[in-house]
Amino acid sequence: MRKKGRFVTLLIFTGILLLSSGLFTGAGAQTGVKAPAAPMSGADDAVQGPTTGIDVSDLTDVQALGFLSVEEVKPWGKLFADETEKLLLAKGDTVYVAFEKGHHIKPGDLFTVYRSSQELDHPLTGSDMGYVISFLGRLVLEKEVKTDLFKAEIVESYEPIRVGDPVLPFAPVSPCVQPSSPQWERLKDIDGAKLPIVATKNLNEIAGQFSVVYMNHGHKHGIRRGNFFEIVSKGESDQPKEPALPDQVLGYLLVLEAKPNTSTGIVITASREFSSGTMLKTIDLTEALKKVLTLYGVDRKDSDIENNPLQILDRLVKETDAKLDLPDALRLLIKMPQCQIK
């Protein structure tokens, strides 16, 4: 059940955040470095307690994200028939699934029902980009009625399901996401550390706050789950011969899943709608947090900052007045619902 209070908090903060335009805002940015209100307790000790992450369960159903695939996806099987003779199937319906030979399958296994798009063109270059795989629902195998033919029940449905839809093994995604920085040694090959949003969930033409979007860069390019990006609009000059204005920050995106060549993210905030082809600019959360810690004279191990950034950020804000000097990205993270990484 969605928690309306968390949405209200996030939406109010979104309005405040988007009024800011610089990297640092507040009194600290105007008056320069200032002494901390109080020393951060235990600053020389290792971070204690469980690792904390961002809880995105109120923003999207992480089991229904879908993904971008650079190659055509080969299904393990398909829905062969159902017991209801309905045109559209949903949660609670009984179906039969025919599997391709060569897979090790047994009762109790979970599978995702999906649908693939036609091959898509890259929104900026026009080159072949891949396929958007849309998740329709999830089923559990009940029993084998013949060789490679199983009776199953649909246990979740996100979109209408039909006989003939293909299936893949279910791969769960945790809604608790630990913020992280990209692997910069791999990301350096990306021009200007920027990459485009190339498609949206369900191939919607317009994206905005809470939209699920896809990028054609993955962990081979240095992108990791938990990476944070600015969504930017390229600045243009008012006059032909004048220099271009700086990029305009439209909002922020969090990466929820990274595959070798693609990744999936959710738009956390957006000041206006945008389309595929809009660029993302990488944020180094580790360096941003180090700068604030240095500003307040707090010594922290690099490993602590990398492994548990939210816990360090929480303690810093609670034990000092650092909230005034946080970059926009960190201020957004501190306002979001948190969870414990298992």
pLDDT of 31 > 60? The answer is no
| Domain limit, last residue, from 110, 136, 169 | 169
pLDDT of 42 > 80? The answer is no
37-48 burial, b for 16+ CB within 10 Å, e for fewer? eeebeebeeebe
**pTM for this model (two decimals):** 0.84
User: For residue 174, is it within any domain?
Assistant: no
pLDDT of 183 > 70? The answer is yes
Nearest to 286 by CA among 306, 267, 313: 306
Considering the domain architecture, whether residues 253 and 186 belong to the same structural domain is answered as yes
Contacts of 246 (CB under 8 A, 6+ apart): 235
Looking at residue 238, its pLDDT comes to: 56
pLDDT of 13 > 60? The answer is no
Considering the domain architecture, whether residues 255 and 195 belong to the same structural domain is answered as yes
Taking residues 185-194, what's their average pLDDT? 73
Looking at residue 83, its pLDDT comes to: 81
User: For residue 175, is it within any domain?
Assistant: no
Considering the domain architecture, whether residues 161 and 202 belong to the same structural domain is answered as no
Considering the domain architecture, whether residues 53 and 101 belong to the same structural domain is answered as no
Considering the domain architecture, whether residues 152 and 116 belong to the same structural domain is answered as yes
Q: What is the CATH number of the domain that holds 270?
A: 2.40.10.410
pLDDT of 7 > 50? The answer is no
- Residues 120-157 have pLDDT tens digits of 999 999 999 999 999 999 999 999 999 999 999 999 99
Considering the domain architecture, whether residues 138 and 196 belong to the same structural domain is answered as no
Order of strands, sheet of 338-340, starting from the edge strand that comes earlier in the sequence: 176-177, 52-55, 338-340
**What domain count does the chain have?**
3
User: For residue 176, is it within any domain?
Assistant: no
| Domain limit, last residue, from 101, 134, 169 | 169
Considering the domain architecture, whether residues 71 and 44 belong to the same structural domain is answered as no
Looking at residue 236, its pLDDT comes to: 61
**74-78, 182-186, 254-258: segment of lowest average pLDDT:** 182-186
pLDDT of 48 > 90? The answer is no
Considering the domain architecture, whether residues 279 and 296 belong to the same structural domain is answered as no
Considering the domain architecture, whether residues 279 and 194 belong to the same structural domain is answered as yes
d(CA 29, CA 201): 39
pLDDT of 9 > 50? The answer is no
Decide: residue 72, CB within 10 A, 0-12 exposed, 13-18 middle, 19+ buried. Answer: exposed
**31-40, 77-86, 215-224, 328-337: segment of lowest average pLDDT:** 31-40
More confident position, 13 or 234:
234
Considering the domain architecture, whether residues 31 and 83 belong to the same structural domain is answered as no
d(CA 232, CA 192): 13
Considering the domain architecture, whether residues 132 and 109 belong to the same structural domain is answered as yes
pLDDT-derived band at 299 (thresholds 50, 70, 90) equals confident
pLDDT-derived band at 186 (thresholds 50, 70, 90) equals confident
Give the domain extent around 316.
Answer: 4-57+286-340
Considering the domain architecture, whether residues 75 and 135 belong to the same structural domain is answered as yes
Looking at residue 242, its pLDDT comes to: 65
